[in-house]
Chain A
Amino acid sequence: DAMVIQNPRYQVTQFGKPVTLSCSQTLNHNVMYWYQQKSSQAPKLLFHYYDKDFNNEADTPDNFQSRRPNTSFCFLDIRSPGLGDAAMYLCATSRKTGTGTGANVLTFGAGSRLTVL
């Protein structure tokens, strides 16, 4: 089945130690998103890629970076994790952005839960 796979599912890191989370998709979708979700809150969009075009949300801290080396893979790099960065990180994909009758459904991965000690 076509899907969105996130690794690792659980990541424990120390304060300040860089972390990379990965996301892969077999849907051949153009758009890949990274969301941050803190305990039972609404997911918050960090950034997204439309193909190779990177779109950063205005309030995303510089501590968060992303790479998309090809259509299938996208990485979230947290350069110096703080205690406040402990959260579930959700990757999602869609065929396109925007609205219209073809407004696209996002397909989410299962998430990567980050713990910062």
Chain B
Amino acid sequence: AQSVAQPEDQVNVAEGNPLTVKCTYSVSGNPYLFWYVQYPNRGLQFLLKYITGDNLVKGSYGFEAEFNKSQTSFHLKKPSALVSDSALYFCAVRDDKLIFGTGTRLQVFP
């Protein structure tokens, strides 16, 4: 069965510093991987996806993610964090349905 794991419940980073939110996957066949962000009391918003092609995927709000097949990882990154990036981030894999990881709360401090 397809699955993703987010090993960190929370990530804290100072504004202006680079951030990484980790995700590892377990799939049979080619992975279809996604990152979504959820702000308080809101639905999920799509950030980026990896289907095929370049391992470095660029998405919304300056975020990017690197697909690493050997490490089965799809970590979300941003070179310089903003306080407004504070939110809940979900990694997901698509099979016949979208399967979410448990989420990582990102807290960016001024």
Contacts and interface: CB of A to CB of B under 8 A. Distances in A.
Interface in A25-56: 33, 40-43, 45, 48
Q: Chain A contact residues (Cβ within 8 angstroms of B): what range?
A: 20 to 34
A56 B64 CA distance: 34
Given A90-B44, A110-B43, A97 B34 contact: no
Interface in A72-94: 88, 90, 92
Given A42-B101, A103-B94, A113 B41 contact: yes
B52 interface: yes
B34 A105 contact: yes
A70 interface: no
Contact of A97 (B36, B45, B96): B96
Contacts of B44: 43, 90, 92, 106, 108
Contacts of A111: 41-43
Interface of A: 4, 6, 33, 40-43, 45, 48, 88, 90, 92, 97-99, 101, 103, 105-111, 113
Interface of B: 30, 32, 34, 36, 41-46, 49, 51-52, 88, 90, 94-98, 100-103, 105
